[in-house]
Amino acid sequence: MSEGKLTAIEQSYLARTERSARLMERAGASMPSGITRTLAWFAPYPVVFERGSGASVFDVDGNRYLDMFSNGLSLMHGHAYGPIEQALRESLSRGTAWPGASEAQVEFAELLCARIPGAEQVRFTNTGTEATMLAVKLARYVSGRPLVIKAWDAYHGSYDDLEVGLQGQDEDPGRVALATFGEIDSYVAALQRNAGKVAAIVVEPVQYTGVVTPPPEGFLAELRELCRREGVFYVLDDCLMSRLAEGGSSERFGVPAPDITCLGKWVGGGLPVGAITASRELMAPFDLADGGTLYHGGSFNGNLLGSIAGQIAVRDLTAAEIARIDAQASRLRSGIEQSARELGVPIRTPGVGSAFGLYVLDQPDGEIDWKATHLLHLAAVNHGVYYGTGGEFGICTAFGDEEIEEAGAGLQSALADLARESVVAGAV
């Protein structure tokens, strides 16, 4: 492939998304790069969507895609999920957000307390970003210490302190120290060099953004015990991986209850909802009726529509459904790997349960070839399969076996297109 020459994959994309191209050019005048969310971007320009239904999304050019990204894993039951759509329609005439509590909000909090390990009380936010911000705020307030430890490359939302370690950002002395996910000794070292200053360790159970990275066997339990032993709070960012079991990732990995659990993404049922859960004792600073002094505002915290949609989304993610979509993801990964072997395309598909990544390697057992990985994504889009621009997959409950087979066929065709471009094994 000569430098500057369009591949057949790119040419095909341009031909089938002409209206998206025009709208993205127009969008660029009012939004940087024509988008308002970093993960939405991919070259030469992103698809512009028009509607979604079940496991499918449709773009403005009339193309249909099987959505294997679920809006960044925030749509656990697919697009326009019937029970949620009906409940929201019935509730809209009552308003959207009130200046106090609602029965739906109370019921939603009770449901989360019943499902999440260690949850005695809930505090609602509007996003997972806000949930992690609030968790850090609470940990610092209660401990009286200023510093948190997080992992390199771990994403915890758009909060400056928790963006440390992303895109080459180094430690923020006095506020954020860094460790290496999966290496308990690096967390011990971070605690030692910041002795007496650490409020909490914040961790994703599975790193998802960037490169999907499952935890080594026993790592999360070791980290939980380290926090208990050193007297620092264990903050679990379960916004993405609470999908792994009815009780979230702590249940899935058999780890004792966190001090604080952060929730977001799919728990809003397609609406912007976040939350933290913790013990009644740890939540006491928010209790104004009992002398609590920790301020937490938010006009839409626990709003009516989010509480209604969230209840349904959480209620309908049962153990049986989780087992079903985990099995579907396993079959899909196996099929992708077999097709790649037959085509001579070296790939890696790390993941846990219904969430995994797909990366093209520069050689068998080699490093990720990001140019080829991004081109494979574009090829998949051409064949009606949409997943995360960085190779991220998340199967939702809207997928049946027929859609999984269709997705597998589309991904096989995409791999074949990539193989024909001769862009694997270091050729790009």
Q: Do residue 302 and residue 368 come from a single domain?
A: no
H/E element, 245: none
- Residues 6+ away with beta carbon under 8 Å from 335: 408, 411, 412
How high is the pLDDT of residue 1?
37
Q: Do residue 280 and residue 365 come from a single domain?
A: no
Q: Do residue 189 and residue 110 come from a single domain?
A: yes
Sign of CA dihedral 386, 387, 393, 397: negative
Q: Which amino acid would we find at residue 283?
A: M
Q: Do residue 50 and residue 99 come from a single domain?
A: no
User: Which of 211, 208, 210, 268 minimizes the C-alpha distance to 237?
Assistant: 208
Q: Which amino acid would we find at residue 304?
A: L
Classify residue 98: in a domain, yes or no.
Answer: yes
How high is the pLDDT of residue 2?
43
Contact between 78 and 397 (Cβ < 8 Å): yes
Q: Do residue 99 and residue 119 come from a single domain?
A: yes
- Residues 6+ away with beta carbon under 8 Å from 418: 9, 345, 360, 372, 375, 376, 379, 424
Structure tokens at 190: 């971070």
- Residues 6+ away with beta carbon under 8 Å from 422: 1
Classify residue 103: in a domain, yes or no.
Answer: yes
User: Which of 286, 285, 295, 297 minimizes the C-alpha distance to 142?
Assistant: 285
pTM: 0.95
Cis peptide before 216 (omega within 30 of 0): no
Contact between 161 and 176 (Cβ < 8 Å): yes
Q: Do residue 236 and residue 324 come from a single domain?
A: no
Rounded Cα gap, residues 376 and 392, in angstroms: 12
Classify residue 216: in a domain, yes or no.
Answer: yes
Q: Quick one: residue 274, left, alpha or beta (phi over 0 = left, psi -120 to 50 = alpha)?
A: beta
Q: Do residue 148 and residue 200 come from a single domain?
A: yes
Classify residue 230: in a domain, yes or no.
Answer: yes
For residue 198, the enclosing domain spans 82-316
How high is the pLDDT of residue 423?
53
H/E element, 149: strand 147-151
Rounded Cα gap, residues 252 and 241, in angstroms: 9
Which of 316, 345, 366 is where one domain is finished? Answer: 316
Measure the CA angle with vertex 218, ends 351 and 220; round to 5°. 75
SS3 148: strand
Classify residue 1: in a domain, yes or no.
Answer: no
Beta bridge partner(s), residue 176: 148, 172
Q: Do residue 192 and residue 267 come from a single domain?
A: yes
Which of 316, 343, 373 is where one domain is finished? Answer: 316
SS3 265: helix
Classify residue 426: in a domain, yes or no.
Answer: no
Structure tokens at 320: 């049986």
Q: Do residue 16 and residue 87 come from a single domain?
A: no
User: Which of 283, 286, 237, 244 minimizes the C-alpha distance to 263?
Assistant: 237
Per-residue pLDDT of the chain (428 residues; tens, 9 = 90+): 345 689 999 999 999 999 999 999 999 999 999 999 988 999 999 999 999 999 999 999 999 999 999 999 999 999 999 999 999 999 999 999 999 999 999 999 999 999 999 999 999 999 999 999 999 999 999 999 999 999 999 999 999 999 999 988 999 999 999 999 999 999 999 999 999 999 999 999 999 999 999 999 999 999 999 999 999 999 999 999 999 999 999 999 999 999 999 999 999 999 999 999 999 999 999 999 999 999 999 999 999 999 999 999 999 999 999 999 999 999 999 999 999 999 999 999 999 999 999 999 999 999 999 999 999 999 999 999 999 999 999 999 999 999 999 999 999 999 999 999 965 544 44
Q: Do residue 227 and residue 302 come from a single domain?
A: yes
**CATH code of residue 240:** 3.40.640.10
Rounded Cα gap, residues 419 and 307, in angstroms: 47
Contact between 241 and 208 (Cβ < 8 Å): yes
* Phi/psi of residue 425, nearest 5 degrees: 55, 45
Which of 316, 346, 381 is where one domain is finished? Answer: 316
Rounded Cα gap, residues 73 and 249, in angstroms: 15
How high is the pLDDT of residue 4?
65
Q: Which amino acid would we find at residue 62?
A: G
Rounded Cα gap, residues 105 and 158, in angstroms: 25
Rounded Cα gap, residues 317 and 48, in angstroms: 29
Q: Do residue 123 and residue 271 come from a single domain?
A: yes
Rounded Cα gap, residues 373 and 424, in angstroms: 9
Q: Do residue 240 and residue 131 come from a single domain?
A: yes
The total number of structural domains in the chain stands at 2
- Label residue 99 exposed, middle or buried (CB < 10 Å: 0-12, 13-18, 19+): exposed
